Every structure is written in C-alpha cells, then in structure tokens.
Structure 1
C-alpha cells in the first residue's frame, strides 16, 4: 500500500482572479486519488490542501511550481503531514 500524505501549499504571485483554484481542482482530479481544496487567502495567496497517495501529492506540488499554471506563480511554500480525512473530493472554497 502506498504511503498516504497531506500536502498544504501556499502559492504566491498573481494567483487570484485568474482561474487558479479551478485549474488546481481540475489538475488534482486529473492526477486522481486526491481529496482536499483550493482556497483564496486574504493576503493574495492561494492555499491548497491535498490528501492522498504521496506520489500524487508530489505531482500536484510539481504542477503548482511549474509554468503550466494560470496567472504567475512567484513561489510555493509547503508543509507535509499525515492525512486528517474528512474531505469529499476536491473542492474550490
């Protein structure tokens, strides 16, 4: 059985008002096996919480840091933890 993980990432840059949360959800669903959410934070960042297989979380993190995201990502800070559960699918908040 693959290791399960919880990724919490804060994405900085021009990431609000450009469809970033929608594309993050779409990418998480495309990767598969992930649950969690993408949320606009008052300071202009987007918070992404993803739980599922560690490899899937790492793939989402790689996408968040890549050049294929909407807007302009200036940086991503992440924290890894054990899954807490309680998410139905992957939501936009």
Structure 2
C-alpha cells in the first residue's frame, strides 16, 4: 500500500498523461513512497518519491538511455508535471 501522498500524485498523473503512452512500474515494492513511469518502449524511466518530503513536495529522477540522469529535489507538483510532460509526450 502506497502512502496517500504517493497515491494522490499517481492518480493525478494517470489523468494528466495518456495511459497508452506510459506505463507505471513498481520496482520498489518495499518503498511505499515511490513509483516509476516509463514510456512504451522503456527507454525512459521516471522515478518519483515522496519519502521524507512535505505535502506537495517531490523527488524526481529521470533516466534516459544514453543521457545523464536528471535529479530534482524538493519540487512541487507543477514543476514535476512541467518537467516530465515534454519527455513523456514527445
């Protein structure tokens, strides 16, 4: 069972992004504060965590093939969505 903050962001992103272009991945079963999103061809992994964060504060890590990982700490929902939207909707 994920935390309520994690479930909130998860539900929001499922509405924000087309499900047929993204997939939720949960490699972190023991981590109730995190989940991942990948594109259909699995060349991008977006890791989102709320561990040890205030309400509406997130940790974001983006892993793209052949690129350096991008890490953003303590960002709000608007920044999170604006950061991942061009990546997932490309």
Q: Same fold (TM over 0.5)?
A: no
Instruction: Give the number of the structure whose residues are more often helix, by fraction.
Output: 2
TM norm structure 2: 0.34
TM-score, length-scaled by structure 1: 0.33
In terms of fraction of residues, the more strand-rich structure is 1
Q: Using CA pairs below 8 Å that are at least 6 residues apart, which structure has the higher relative contact order?
A: 1
